[in-house]
A and B are shown apart, each in its own frame.
Chain A
Amino acid sequence: MTDTRKFNPAAWQPEIEMVRFDFPNGLVLFVLPDKRLPILSLQVHYRVGSRHELPGITGISHLFEHMMFRGTETLGPEEFSRILQAKGGEINAFTTKDHTSYFENLPGEHLELGLSLEADRLKNLKLDDETFQPERQVVISERKLRSVDSPFGLVLEELYTAAYTQHPYQWPVIGWNQDLQRMTLEDCRKYYREHYHPGNLTIVISGDADPQAARDLVEKYFGDIPPPGLPPAAPVLEPPQRGERRVIFKKVSQLESLFAGFHIVGLDHQDIYPLNLLSLIMSGGKSSRFYQEFVRPGKAVEVSVEIAPPPWAAQDPDLLVIAAIAAPGRPLAELEKEVWAAVDRLLADGVTPEELARAQKLMRAQGARSLAHNFFRGLLVGLFHMKTGDAGRVNRLLASFEAVTADDILRVARQYLREDNRTVVVLKPVSPEESRALGELA
């Protein structure tokens, strides 16, 4: 029963060991060796997301993610998943505003199989109408699930569309329904040629792998793929917002709610750290300000400050969203007034040292927790590299949070939580009959 190991958790250092390899064709590989368990996470990140789309083909990045599972010259539809699942793998992919990521969490002994199949679908993807047409229908069903029939999916789409006038973050990753309906197979082929190549590719192998052996395997399967040498797209800048925008959106709903977006910064900007701590102070946990003021006494179902933490924050300036869902029978206008009053108190008085310390400790704890997982370790490295070009930030993450002062939080609150920088979408509940009279939801 007695164990002779001595743990010293307070002395633990959250450093991720990483070995980087740069290939002549532009591919970048990170290996994060960790042999505690005979498993690893193989991640293939392409620098292509909804930001690279144009009106008319919105949603193509995500639709294309689906097509990557639909077979190659030698594999049938979904055979990619079936082969790797049969080895114990968890196979999936996700598309964001900035990138498309494919991953296989699997026993380390099957790394070569995973790499060979990833290279096969990069080189030999089969794109034909037989697989494209049903997959388009699948994505249309997914859009109905995530956006149309979900309580707030369309409301959040309205928020981004109103808040962005020029930047491609204005359309949803899943795309507009009419674009999904009219997209063609040729659009997909063109997109594949432009974006799926080694110069746009970062591979991360996190877990039971030897760096040099992993490098040799990547060389074996990806080394001969030529880079097309396309120039990077010019950056798009969203002009500063010059006054509040308000939108009303009516749909069948039990509750009134509002979503207020404030333009903030992208991942590359240091303000992302105080902004994240600010969101924890306002609504992280049951001791937070918003929980105590609104949720605990039953005034609201939820009042939260939502911001993606590094490195999940978007590459370009995204929105910090304050969501407020009124409790049944409580008028939203009253709740909104009280929420802005709470924000005003923050802007006037700042935060206390205890609130800051609590938020920093929460970040440290969340960091420790996520580092137990090969998958998250890999994502941390891969996403920082893809969006900032500096994977080393992962090992400075906690220090970046710990360096934040109460003054920093007050400064970012005053800089970004301004009325002129705010877009508000109000969800007004209507009956099914009124909803039908307003036209089709899409």
Chain B
Amino acid sequence: MTNYIPDIYQSSLPNAMTLVGMEYDRVPWVSLTFLARRGAETDPPGKAGAADWAAEFLTLGTARRNQLELATDIESRGAALKARGGFDAVMVSLEGLAEDFPQLMATLAEIVQTPAFPEDEFPLLKERRRADLVHLLDEPREMANIRFLKLFFGDSPYGHPAQGDLQSAAALELNDLQEFYRREFAPQTASLVVVGMVEAAQVEDEAARNFGAWAGGGPPSLPYVSAPDKLCTPGIYLWDRPELTQSEIRLGHLGVPRSHPDFFALKLVNYILGGGGFSSRLMTRIRSDLGLTYGIRSQFHFRRAPGPFVVSTFTPAAHTAQVVKEITEVMTEVSRAGVAPQELAEAQSYHVGHFPLGLETPQGLARQLLAMDLYELGRGYLKKYCDEIRTITQETAARAAQVHLRPQSLVILVMGPASQCAAGLRELGPVTVIEES
């Protein structure tokens, strides 16, 4: 059944860096990703964005070439370079036509190993990032996501936006970026993931030649794995945005880490609750039956340390309280009574049937390999995935729902026009009015 999964090749380079790859023969494409297994969770206090900015800064000049020379070389090959820092990792990826593989590998090595950190680029980066952050203030959905995490996690490592905020943008200096790079770009916590129309032997040769002698920095930060000591008090929080016509709503509580044994059970429970689109209970109730939103979803953010569980939606402002109440009721039903046999069977057949769709493109395969490497899921993960899904029983799912869904402990953020939604929300409980940050 799983003979369509390409073989994985994996080895350690002489400097202890990991190489993982797959051959792919459908189109002449190759995707290369350098992964450093530390990210925005290591940003120092007040310096949110250090990891993400450092990633971009690598692309702004190397010992040999400046930003324009690099970009011209890469784009003249039709290739694309992306560098970003998220929670748990920083990734620098370069993908393009497989005929250019040796040049792409050499360019990726140049960017990762010999950044020049040009001083004259830093004020430009700072200005661009500040402008992007100001622009983000006009995106209600993004602002609600950011505000919720800040409200929920406070000053703990997952509480700030990975791209930084306006305060940290003013505070970040070039040496914060250099310090992140010096500390976290170390071979023992780095991997190179390659998927494409290139033979394994050639990838191994080129990887050893381009990355094998790289000494890098270090020692890297200790991995962040535990939950924060202090989290936001459950309750309703309102951020008044009088110019909006709809309220953005986020409800959540602490989730579990990626390594948790209930991962597969929660994947299925969440599909049934709010992750499965029109097959989910939240979509059925709030959109199909009541017509109160265009979209609603729930998600466990599985990370190295416990990430958040969040339900996200929006609704015309007058319906805000009703939507909050309905979501809480649906969560309570699933938490108390578990899921129906047919729901579980359909969630399982969805995940098993959908599995090959995620393996169709080089990018899809690379995403799988990156997750396997980052969260140490084991080389057999893809071959065992469908069996893991099938072994979840009604009882396992019900227990996972009962333990990990806590509708009585929700932090509820509403961002919308208070004049239209505050009175209704107060009928549900005390409302704390909060500011932008």
Residues of A within 8 A of B (CB): 1-3, 5-7, 9-10, 12, 14, 36-39, 69, 77-78, 81-82, 85-91, 105-107, 110, 133-142, 144-145, 148-151, 251-255, 284-288, 292, 295-298, 300-301, 325, 327-328, 354, 357-358, 361-366, 368-369, 371-374, 432, 435-436, 441
Complex-state Cα separation, A286 to B288, whole angstroms: 43
B23→A3 contact, CB < 8 A? yes
Give Cα A5 to B244, complex, Å: 58
| In the bound complex, CA of A37 to CA of B197 (Å) | 16
Tell me if B99 counts as interface (CB < 8 A to partner A).
Answer: yes
Is B224 interfacial (CB 8 A cutoff)?
no
Q: Which residues of A contact B33 (CB under 8 A)?
A: none
Bound CA–CA A87/B351 (angstroms): 8
Min C-beta distance of A265 to chain B, whole Å: 25
Q: Tell me if B222 counts as interface (CB < 8 A to partner A).
A: no
A-B contact pairs, 6 of them (CB 8 A): A3-B199, A10-B28, A12-B197, A85-B278, A298-B131, A354-B76
Given the known inter-chain contacts A37-B356, A37-B360, A286-B67, please indicate yes or no for A435 contacting B314, CB distance below 8 A: no
Most chain A CB within 10 A, of B68, B97, B284, is at B97
**Pair B204/A1 contact, Cβ less than 8 Å:** yes
In the complex, what residues of A have CB within 8 A of residue B132's CB?
301
Q: Please indicate the chain A residues that have their CB under 8 angstroms from the CB of B368 in the complex.
A: none
Inter-chain contact B357/A90, CB cutoff 8 Å: yes
Contact yes or no, A149 B288, CB < 8 A: no
B352 within 8 A of A: yes
Are B288 and A77 touching (Cβ within 8 A)? yes
Residues on the A chain within 8 Å of B279, using CB: 81-82, 85-86
Q: Is B134 touching A86 in the complex (CB atoms < 8 A)?
A: no
Q: Which residue of A lies closest to B132 (CB)?
A: A301
Cα of A371 to Cα of B97 in the assembled complex, Å: 12
A327 to B123: give the CA distance in the assembly, Å. Answer: 14
Give the contacts of B136-157 with A (CB-CB under 8 A). 137-140
Q: Are B316 and A144 interface neighbours, CB within 8 A? A: yes
A82 and B291 contact, Cβ closer than 8 Å, known pairs A9-B197, A37-B4, A361-B78: no
Q: Please measure, in the bound complex, the distance between the C-alpha atom of A131 and the C-alpha atom of B364, giving whole angstroms.
A: 37
Find B76's partner among A36, A144, A297, A361 (CB 8 Å cutoff): A361
Given known contacts A9-B97, A137-B292, is B316 in contact with A296 (CB within 8 Å)?
no
A297 to B200: give the CA distance in the assembly, Å.
Answer: 41
Please report the C-alpha to C-alpha distance between residue A327 and residue B294 in the assembled complex, in whole angstroms.
Answer: 32
| Chain B 342-373 interface 0/1 with A at a Cβ cutoff of 8 Å (1 = within) | 00011001111111110111100000000000
A406 to B409, CA, bound (A): 63
**Do B246 and A149 have beta carbons less than 8 Å apart?**
yes
Contact B4 A140 (CB under 8 A): no
Give chain B residues whose Cβ lies under 8 Å from the Cβ of A148.
245-246
**In whole angstroms, how far apart are the Cα atoms of A135 and B27 in the complex?**
41
Whether the Cβ atoms of A78 and B357 lie closer than 8 Å is no
**Bound CA span A265–B352, Å:** 45
Q: How far is the CB of A3 from chain B (nearest CB, A)?
A: 5
B233 proximal to A (CB < 8 A): no
Are A369 and B135 closer than 8 Å at their CB atoms?
no
Task: Report which residue of B139, B278, B292 has the largest number of chain A beta carbons within 10 angstroms of its beta carbon.
Answer: B278
- Minimum CB–CB distance for A416 against chain B, Å: 24
**B23 and A358: CB pair below 8 A?**
no
1/0 per residue, CB under 8 A from A, across B192-223: the answer is: 00000111110010000000000000000000
CB–CB B77/A361 < 8 A: yes
A87-B349, A107-B353, A137-B292 given; A372·B29 CB < 8 A: yes
Mark out the residues of chain B between 225 and 271 whose CB falls within 8 Å of any chain A CB in the assembled complex.
242-246
Asked if A86 and B349 make an inter-chain contact with CB atoms under 8 angstroms apart, the answer reads yes
* A85 and B346 contact, CB distance less than 8 A: yes
Q: What is the distance, in angstroms, from B74's C-beta to the closest C-beta of chain A?
A: 8
- Apart from A136-B291, A296-B124, A297-B127, list 19 A-B contacts with CB within 8 A: A5-B23, A37-B4, A82-B279, A85-B276, A89-B353, A133-B291, A134-B290, A138-B291, A145-B314, A149-B245, A252-B243, A255-B134, A287-B75, A298-B127, A327-B131, A357-B76, A365-B78, A373-B361, A435-B243
**A-contact 0/1 string along B311-354, CB 8 Å cutoff:** 00011100000000000000000000000000001100111111
For the complex of A and B, 4 pairs with smallest distance between CB atoms: A88-B353, A365-B78, A134-B291, A298-B127
Point out the residues of chain A lying under 8 angstroms from B388, CB to CB.
Answer: none
Answer whether A368 and B134 are a contact pair too, CB < 8 Å, given A149-B245, A286-B75, A298-B124.
no
A301/B9 contact (C-beta < 8 A), A5-B25, A69-B278, A362-B75 known: no
B242 touches A432 (CB 8 A): yes
Least distance between B77 CB and chain A CB atoms (Å): 6
Q: Is B287 an interface residue (CB 8 A)?
A: yes
Rounded to whole angstroms, the CA-CA distance of A145 and B353 in the bound complex is 32
Q: CB of B86 within 8 A of chain A?
A: no
Bound complex: CA of A2 vs CA of B26, how far in Å?
Answer: 19
CB distance A374 to B197 under 8 Å?
no
Residue of A87, A141, A287 near B71 (CB, 8 A) is A287
Q: Which residue of A lies closest to B139 (CB)?
A: A151
Q: Is B96 an interface residue (CB 8 A)?
A: yes
| B59: nearest chain-A partner, CB-CB | A286
* Interchain nearest-CB distance for B285 vs A (Å): 11
Which of A85, A140, A251 touches B277 (beta carbons < 8 Å)?
Answer: A85
The answer, yes or no, to whether B72 is at the interface (CB within 8 Å) is yes
In whole angstroms, what is the CA distance A325 to B138 when docked? 13
Q: Evaluate contact between B67 and A151: CB separation under 8 angstroms.
A: no
Which residues of B are found within 8 Å of A436, using beta-carbon distances? 242-243
For A358, the chain B residues whose CB sits under 8 A away are: 72, 75-76
What is the minimal beta-carbon distance from B376 to any residue of chain A, in angstroms? 22
**CB contact list, B172-210 vs A, under 8 A:** 197-201, 204
Complex CA–CA separation, A286 to B69 (angstroms): 10
CB nearest neighbor in A for B248 = A149
Residue pair A141, B292 in contact (C-beta under 8 Å): yes
Select one of B198, B278, B359, B362 contacting A37, CB under 8 A: B359
Select from chain A the residue with minimum beta-carbon distance to B276: A85
Q: Is the CB of B75 within 8 A of A285?
A: yes
Contact of B79 among A5, A295, A365 (CB under 8 A): A365
* A365 pairs with B140, CB closer than 8 A: no
Measured CA separation A383–B298 after assembly (Å): 34
A1 CA to B19 CA, complexed, in Å: 13
Whether B278 contacts A372 by the Cβ 8 Å rule is: no
Chain B neighbourhood of A374, CB < 8 A: 360
- Quick one: closest B residue to A86, CB to CB? B346
A297 near B99 with CB under 8 A, answer: no
B242 touches A9 (CB 8 A): no
B128: Cβ under 8 A from any A Cβ:
yes
CB distance from A84 to the nearest CB of B (A): 9
| Cβ contact within 8 Å between A78 and B288 | yes
Kindly state whether residue B301 has any CB partner on chain A within 8 Å.
no
Give the complex CA separation of A5 and B98 in angstroms.
Answer: 15
Q: Which residues of B contact A145 (CB under 8 A)?
A: 246, 294-295, 314
Q: How far is the CB of A105 from chain B (nearest CB, A)?
A: 6
Q: Is A141 in contact with B316, judged by CB distance below 8 angstroms?
A: yes
Query: Given that A135-B291, A301-B135, A365-B78 are known contacts, is A9 also in contact with B28, CB under 8 Å in the complex?
Result: yes
**Quick check: is B289 within 8 A (CB to CB) of the other chain?**
yes
* A243 smallest CB distance to B (angstroms): 32
Contact B72 A82 (CB under 8 A): no
- Measured CB to CB, the nearest residue on chain B to A69 is B278
Residues in chain A near residue B356, CB distance under 8 A: 37-39, 107
- B294–A141 CB distance below 8 A: yes
Evaluate contact between B97 and A368: CB separation under 8 angstroms: yes
Q: Which chain B positions have C-beta within 8 A of A295?
A: 128
Distance of A366 Cα from B78 Cα, bound (Å): 8
Assembled-state Cα–Cα distance A287/B71 (Å): 5
B399 within 8 A of A: no
Taking CB as reference atom, which chain A residue is nearest B355? A88
| Complex Cα gap A93–B200 (Å) | 39
CB-based contact A328/B350 at 8 Å: no
| Nearest-neighbor residue (CB-CB) of B290 within chain A | A134
Quick check: is B168 within 8 A (CB to CB) of the other chain? Answer: no
